[in-house]
Amino acid sequence: MAGMDIEPFRIAIPDADLADLHRRLTDARWPTELPGTGWTRGIPLDHLRELADHWRTGFDWRAQETRLNAFPQFTTDIDGQRIHFLHVRSERADATPLLITHGYPSSVAEFLELIGPLAGDFHLVIPSLPGYAFSTPLAGPGWTMARTARTWAELMRRLGYARYGVHGGDVGAGISGLLAGLDGEHVIGLHVVTDPWTAAATATFIPGSADRLDADDPVDKLIKDRMDAFRTDGSGYLSLMNSRPQTIGYGLTDSPLLQLAWIAEKFGEWTDLPVDRDQMLTTVSLYWFTGSGISAAHTLYDQAHSSEWGTPPGVPQGFAVFGSDETVRKLIPAPATAHWVEHERGRHFPAMEAPAELAADLRAFFGPLT
């Protein structure tokens, strides 16, 4: 790989950056909270105080840094942008290459519990999205999902993988779907994860979705209620980044308290099963130490203003639905031949909530395609 402009990479956050984080958390200026509001107006004060105190006094960044560095990491420049990625090769030469893409607000740390169960069957390529963590600084505007998908195709070409599978959730699902459409000659299959609330939220961005719902149908009513709840109460974070990423970026870059609240709120609202607190704080730390809160917001802005959606994938498709209920089949345009697995528990971050179940789904889907 050295001859392909791919360089080895190790995470090494300076001690001064750790000291600065601890100082800022110690000196944080805390707001008041209206009594009796719970989660209805954002992350509760007591919950965030407990997380911030653990981040400052109990969380061991060096241990998490060592854990991340246990996996081979590299960087390369594609389309003018530095791309960071984990590349964990199986001992089996005939293992299936699998490209795994995270979403927002996430990072490669999302998949740490998934790597071990998958490493025997797959050569794993897990990149940081452009503008996230060590795929920074963001070289310029225009990093939409479609552009990232083209970048991923080039990354896999540089790694020498002529045939590979793709998997993702959230933004990573969109990128994986676009990649399967534009590089179908090399992609052997597309596997994505979703949940009923994410599916309903996504439907709010598809013109005419609400018009197709029958008010007298109880399943359609549940979908509509979730779409309305996302518009009125759940989309504020996204609306701000989709319209004013530079403005919110000042706070995300200057205040670890804001960066922590911005991400921890979503983990609190979007999970069903417990997520290891230190694993979540590893992702928060990656955003903080690399200053990528603002650059990630810029990519969400670019996607919100993009109309490039590529072509439908013509490869085998697999879906793993977590927290499944009767709404998802109506919301997901899965072909009749799609691999479809439903899980009663888990939600938006199944690689952290239910890694064993997700690993089993990936092996079951991609196994026959090798």
Which one of 121, 170, 195, 361 is the catalytic residue? 170
Which one of 237, 278, 348, 361 is the catalytic residue? 348
* Rounded Cα distance, 160 and 313, in Å: 22
Is residue 301 among the annotated active site residues? yes
pLDDT at 2: 42
- pLDDT tens readout for residues 75-129: 999 999 999 999 999 999 999 999 999 999 999 999 999 999 999 999 999 999 9
Contact criterion met (CB below 8 Å) for 315 and 187: yes
Is residue 84 among the annotated active site residues? no
Reported as a pLDDT band with limits 50, 70 and 90, residue 4 is low
DSSP track, 211-268: GG--TTSHHHHHHHHHHHHIIIII-HHHHHHHH-HHHHHHHHHH-HHHHHHHHHHHHH
Would you say residue 1 has pLDDT above 60? no
- The mean per-residue pLDDT over the stretch 323-340 comes to 94
* Tokens coding 217: 């149908």
pLDDT at 3: 44
- The mean per-residue pLDDT over the stretch 59-64 comes to 98
What DSSP character marks residue 4?
A: G
Is residue 348 among the annotated active site residues? yes
pLDDT at 215: 86
| All structural domains of the chain with their residue ranges | 2-10+41-369
pLDDT at 181: 97
Question: Alpha-carbon Rg of the chain, whole angstroms?
Answer: 20
pLDDT at 333: 86
Question: pTM of this prediction?
Answer: 0.96
- Angle ∠(52,246,205) on CA atoms, nearest 5: 90
Which one of 301, 339, 343, 361 is the catalytic residue? 301
- pLDDT tens readout for residues 15-41: 999 999 999 999 999 999 999 999 999
* Rounded Cα distance, 94 and 88, in Å: 14
- pLDDT tens readout for residues 189-221: 999 999 999 999 999 998 888 888 998 999 999
Note if the bond before 8 is cis, omega within 30 degrees. no
pLDDT at 210: 84
pLDDT at 299: 98
Reported as a pLDDT band with limits 50, 70 and 90, residue 254 is very high
- pLDDT tens readout for residues 138-162: 999 999 999 999 999 999 999 999 9
- pLDDT tens readout for residues 275-330: 999 999 999 999 999 999 999 999 999 999 999 988 999 999 999 999 999 999 99
* Rounded Cα distance, 29 and 45, in Å: 12
Amino acid at 177: G
* CATH number, span 2-10+41-369: 3.40.50.1820
